[in-house]
């Protein structure tokens, strides 16, 4: 559910290379979110042969139990749970014959509404979805009962609807949380970030007072003189990264600290490039490839407390959650992070081996380790015989609430 700069589609391909992709999924799958065609959990990575027709997937957005796939050509596909219209297929139905799953879609299906649009960014919340076009327009669909679609009402929609509030503005990014949404505008310093939807934990950042919900976008406070380059949302948490690589967080407090109703800059000298949010924890990635963590007292989400190393760059304010390192990752360079509801994943870059590691809540097999056990330390995930690694291979990992996806992209010389 978390999103930032990587949610954009890379439209321009290298003409001298072709990209060969493989996609795997594992974890909770009873609503078709794994794309396997089977309505069951998978404890080990499953190679998805039927995803090859998607051409080049640039990003996956994984929500509560649905997935959005954005391709290099700006097309978008969706599958998984669709009971609130979050798949955007218009009829709130799937195309399989199982009467018990009329609200789900077990295989990727193009969203026909966007047949004549090119998309650059997508995000998936618990039961809603959002899309940004190359012209800077924002579209949303799915559950709108908390105002998270931004249309000025609390209705749900099974087809994408343009958010009229931003019709004369240039939307760059969208991030969907559990029941709220954040928007980042391009070239709009001071009024860059907007929030709408559920706000009871302060996750909209629009007021110091407790707000139940808002259905029209409102400016998030605290960024009047700050240039924001990335936004993230999940659960009741929100985060943003500035151009000078500072991290701002607001919403539900981590580790039982008070909720934060206005964006607060994390007091650290570290330079952050990515924030991935869960329901009770967050992973943070620095420009040096170091991973740090906030919160995480459930299911061993982050790591063994006895093996956590406090980061010494932070203040001693008791109302601020402690930022910590994991000893198991000492000396390991990380190139990507992802977070589900209560589990974490990353891709290492050491020696360009692209190892995928997972830990935390494992009840549905979302760690991909062949069992349903929780893990308090990062564990390497094997993708089987197809786990090819070389200097031309790039791995990406994405987390939904209780499931995980991995993409391997192999660049090969063009035959033309």
Domain ranges within the chain, ordered by starting residue: 17-53+333-415
In whole angstroms, what is the distance from residue 358 CA to residue 355 CA?
10
Centroid of chain to Cα 181: 12
In whole angstroms, what is the distance from residue 119 CA to residue 281 CA?
30
Our CA dihedral for 370, 332, 256, 274, rounded to 10 degrees, sits at -100
Mean pLDDT of 399-414: 87
Say how many CA atoms lie within 13 Å of 294 toward its Cβ.
29
> Which positions ≥6 away from 353 have C-beta within 8 Å?
389
> Which positions ≥6 away from 76 have C-beta within 8 Å?
68, 69, 70, 110, 111, 114, 119, 122, 131
Least confident residue range of 173-177, 218-222, 382-386: 382-386
- The token pair that represents 59 in the structure block: 């990003």
Residue 319, class by beta-carbon neighbours within 10 Å (0-12 exposed, 13-18 middle, 19+ buried)? exposed
Mean pLDDT of 278-282: 96
H or E segment and range at residue 216 = strand 213-219
pLDDT at 388: 61
Most confident by average pLDDT, 7-16, 75-84, 308-317: 75-84
pLDDT at 364: 98
Percentage of the residues of the chain whose pLDDT score is greater than 90: 72
Instruction: Assess whether pLDDT exceeds 70 at residue 302.
Output: no
In whole angstroms, what is the distance from residue 375 CA to residue 368 CA?
11
53 φ, ψ (degrees, to nearest 5): -70, -10
Instruction: Assess whether pLDDT exceeds 80 at residue 193.
Output: yes
Decide: 360 and 368 in contact? Cβ < 8 Å.
Answer: no
Banded pLDDT at 8 (limits 50, 70, 90): low
Percentage of the residues of the chain whose pLDDT score is greater than 70: 81
Closest to 176 measured CA to CA, from 404, 7, 45: 7
- pTM as predicted: 0.90
Find tokens 């001071």 and name the residue: 190
pLDDT at 53: 62
Instruction: Assess whether pLDDT exceeds 60 at residue 313.
Output: no
Least confident residue range of 98-107, 186-195, 361-370: 98-107
SS3 percent helix, strand, coil of the chain, rounded to 5, is 10, 45, 50
Three-state secondary structure string covering 177-236: CCCEEEEEECCCCCCCEEEEEECCCCCCCCCCCCCCEEEEEEECCCCCCCCEEEEEEECC
- Average pLDDT taken over every residue of the chain: 87
pLDDT, tens only, 136-158: 999 999 999 999 999 999 999 99
Closest to 141 measured CA to CA, from 154, 128, 126: 128
Residue 86 or 351, more confident: 86
Decide: 237 and 223 in contact? Cβ < 8 Å.
Answer: no
């Amino acid at each position: 559910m978390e999103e930032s700069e990587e949610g954009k589609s890379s439209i321009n391909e290298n003409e001298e290379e072709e990209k060969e992709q493989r996609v795997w999924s594992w974890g909770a799958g009873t609503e078709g979110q794994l794309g396997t065609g089977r309505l069951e959990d998978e404890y080990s990575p499953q190679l998805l042969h039927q995803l090859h027709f998607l051409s080049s997937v640039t990003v996956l957005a994984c929500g509560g139990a649905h997935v959005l796939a954005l391709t290099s050509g700006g097309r978008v596909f969706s599958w998984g749970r669709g009971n609130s219209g979050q798949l955007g297929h218009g009829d709130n139905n799937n195309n399989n014959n199982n009467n018990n799953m009329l609200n789900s879609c077990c295989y990727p299906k193009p969203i026909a509404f966007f047949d004549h649009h090119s998309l650059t960014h997508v995000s998936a919340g618990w039961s809603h979805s959002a899309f940004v076009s190359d012209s800077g327009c924002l579209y949303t669909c799915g559950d709108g009962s908390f105002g998270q679609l931004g249309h000025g009402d609390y209705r749900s929609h099974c087809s994408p609807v343009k958010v009229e509030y931003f019709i004369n503005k240039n939307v760059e990014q969208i991030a969907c949380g559990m029941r709220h949404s954040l928007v980042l505008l391009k070239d709009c310093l001071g009024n860059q970030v907007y929030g709408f939807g559920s706000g009871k934990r302060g996750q909209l950042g629009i007021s110091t007072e407790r707000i139940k919900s808002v259905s029209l976008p409102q400016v998030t406070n605290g960024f009047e003189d700050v240039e924001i380059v990335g936004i993230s949302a999940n659960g009741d948490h929100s985060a943003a990264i500035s151009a000078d690589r500072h991290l701002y967080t607001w919403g539900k407090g981590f580790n039982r600290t008070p909720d934060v109703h206005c964006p607060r800059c994390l007091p650290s000298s570290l330079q952050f490039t990515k924030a991935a949010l869960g329901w009770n924890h967050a992973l943070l990635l620095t420009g040096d490839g170091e991973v740090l963590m906030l919160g995480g007292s459930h299911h061993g989400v982050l790591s063994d407390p006895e093996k956590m190393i406090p980061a010494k760059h932070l203040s001693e304010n008791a109302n601020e959650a402690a930022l910590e390192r994991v000893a198991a990752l000492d000396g390991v360079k990380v190139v990507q992070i992802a977070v589900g509801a209560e589990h974490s994943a990353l891709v290492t870059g050491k020696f360009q081996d692209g190892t995928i590691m997972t830990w935390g809540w494992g009840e549905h097999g979302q760690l991909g380790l062949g069992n349903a056990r929780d893990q308090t330390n990062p564990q390497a995930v094997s993708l089987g015989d197809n786990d090819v690694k070389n200097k031309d291979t790039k791995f990406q990992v994405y987390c939904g609430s209780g499931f995980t996806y991995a993409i391997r992209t192999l660049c090969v010389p063009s035959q033309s």
